[in-house]
Amino acid sequence: MNILQLLHTCIRSILRNRMRSLLTSLGVIIGVGSVIIMVALGEGSQREIETRITAMGTNILQVMPRRQTTRSGQQVMTRINAFSKMDIQRLRDESTFMSAVSGIASSNSSVTSGQGNVQVSVQGVEPEFFGARNWSLQAGFFFDDEDMRLRNRVAVLGNTTAKNLFGEAASAIDGQIRIGSVYFNVIGLLESKGASLGGSDQDDVIMVPLDTAITRLTNSRNIGQIVISVIGKEYMEAAQKEVEMILRESRKIAEGAASDFDIRNQADMIDMASATSRTLTSLLAAIAGVSLLVGGIGIMNIMLVSVTERTREIGIRMAIGGRKRDILFQFLTESVILSIMGGVLGIGMAFLVCRILASIGVPTAINPLIVMVSALFAALVGVIFGYYPALKAAKLYPIDALRYE
């Protein structure tokens, strides 16, 4: 029997029971589709995480004071040794890997305009902050060193805050807002960045000059965070060590004593988030792959039934010259075709589901390599689980097969 005859015979046998063939392939359809969808969701999520972190800057170091807990008798006290402008100036003067640095003084304040009243995060920052964190303007302009020196009451608004205060974001430019009891003029509107990695809205923010914030809003010269932009990703580790050394000297921390601040590396955050996402994706794909195993068992079960139903047909084929290997290849080919058919339908189902998910805002990224591997694995399932029924059919004795029923 040549290959064309073999395929013709197998396809005719499969089409003879269309519904049963479709149900037999259902396990493989679900298995292949599930694996592709799970991996697509995982990779889509990973890309989304990387995009959000990259939007904040990939060569960023964030320095934050560490909470220090002390016990005095029955009382437990928590102290935070905030940063000073002297710390920031030492970093500017002594760091060799830094392209920009900015202190941040944050507060959650009640903000009022002519059209609204909101509770929003107000951040006092330095002009270098916008470049370090990849912020760009939709309209207006950023405040500059002159505004810092004169402690001008000017503000740059995020899109969400501008809409909440003025109805339309574009209407905020040249408007006036009141932060607490201090009036500010709106000079800039930030481009929208969307949600952060933690899910908070990055556009719900107001930025004012750092010196203005610490003298007019917080009444404290303490700075709660320092953001540092490194000249290149390849210098992140060296820059982190250098920043720690400079700040320890500036804050007069004794040798051997623990630092009273923490340094977060944005590149490490990307690697950590990506590694977590890959682990979850692999786990989900492995769970989905179990359904492929179940689909293979279903194929084996139906093929064994098929051998029993067609015992007399097998006997006739052998009696007129059919060889054992012809019978083996026929049943094995039927099993592989059923499995491949399930794989193709599963791939189609996965593409359809991913398109639907993308249309409702769920990030997906179909990996062509996973599609190919899933198709090959589906064919392999057909070979593995179809071999035993095919072997059983090939081992039938012609006389016993002809006398069957």
| pLDDT digit string, tens, across residues 216-246 | 887 777 788 888 888 887 888 888 889 889 9
**CA nearest 31: which of 355, 386, 398, 380?**
380
25 burial via Cβ count (<10 Å: 0-12, 13-18, 19+): buried
Separation of alpha carbons 132 and 60, rounded Å: 7
Segment 34-61 mean pLDDT: 77
Choose between 47 and 70: higher pLDDT. 47
Q: What Å distances lie between residue 53 and 45, 150, 156, 215, 264, CA to CA?
A: 12, 34, 22, 32, 13
Confidence class for position 31, pLDDT limits 50, 70, 90: confident
Cα 347 from Cα 380, distance rounded (Å): 16
Contact 346, 36 (CB under 8 A): yes
Quick one: pLDDT band at residue 118, thresholds 50, 70, 90?
confident
The per-residue pLDDT for 186 is 92
Distances (CA, A) of 156 to 59, 106, 134: 24, 14, 15
Q: Is the pLDDT reported for residue 39 higher than 80?
A: yes
What pLDDT is recorded for position 154? 93
Please tell me the predicted confidence (pLDDT) of residue 69. 62
| Band of residue 187 on the pLDDT scale cut at 50, 70, 90 | very high
b/e burial code for range 152-177 (CB count within 10 A of at least 16 → b)? bbbbbbbbbbbbbbbeebebbbebeb
Rounded to an integer, what distance in angstroms lies between the CA atom of residue 372 and that of residue 349? 15
With a cut of 60, say whether residue 74 has pLDDT above it. no
137 in the Ramachandran plot: left (φ > 0), alpha (ψ -120 to 50) or beta?
A: beta
Read off the pLDDT of each residue in 173-194 and give the average, rounded to a whole number. Answer: 88
Q: Who's near 402: CB < 8 A, 6+ residues apart?
A: 312, 315, 316, 319
What whole-number distance in Å separates Cα of residue 248 and Cα of residue 238? Answer: 16
Q: Which of 210, 236, 208, 62 is nearest to 133 (CA)?
A: 62
Average pLDDT over residues 193-215: 80
Does 26 have pLDDT greater than 70? yes
Look up residue 167 and give its two tokens: 């109805």
* pLDDT at residue 397 in the model: 63
pLDDT band of residue 142 (cuts 50, 70, 90) is: very high
Per-residue pLDDT at 250 exceeds 70:
yes
**Do 184 and 155 form a contact (C-beta atoms < 8 A)?**
yes
What is the structure's pLDDT at 321? 66
Per-residue pLDDT at 189: 92
pLDDT at 146 over 60: yes
The mean pLDDT value for 355-368 works out to 86
* Model confidence at 351: pLDDT above 70: yes
How many CB atoms neighbour CB 308 within 10 A? 12
Mean of all residue pLDDT scores within the chain? 80
Lowest-confidence segment of 51-55, 206-210, 226-230, 234-238 by average pLDDT: 51-55
pLDDT cut 90: percent of the chain above it = 8
Q: What pLDDT, on a 0 to 100 scale, did the predictor assign at position 133? A: 82
- Residues 89-104 have pLDDT tens digits of 898 888 888 888 888 9
* Residue 152: pLDDT band with limits 50, 70, 90: very high
| pLDDT of 66 | 78
Confidence of residue 382 (pLDDT cuts 50, 70, 90): confident
Rounded Cα distance, 170 and 148, in Å: 25
Is the model's pLDDT at 380 over the cut of 60?
Answer: yes
Residue range 113-125: mean pLDDT, rounded:
86
pLDDT at 73: 55
- pLDDT tier at 4 (50, 70, 90 boundaries)? low
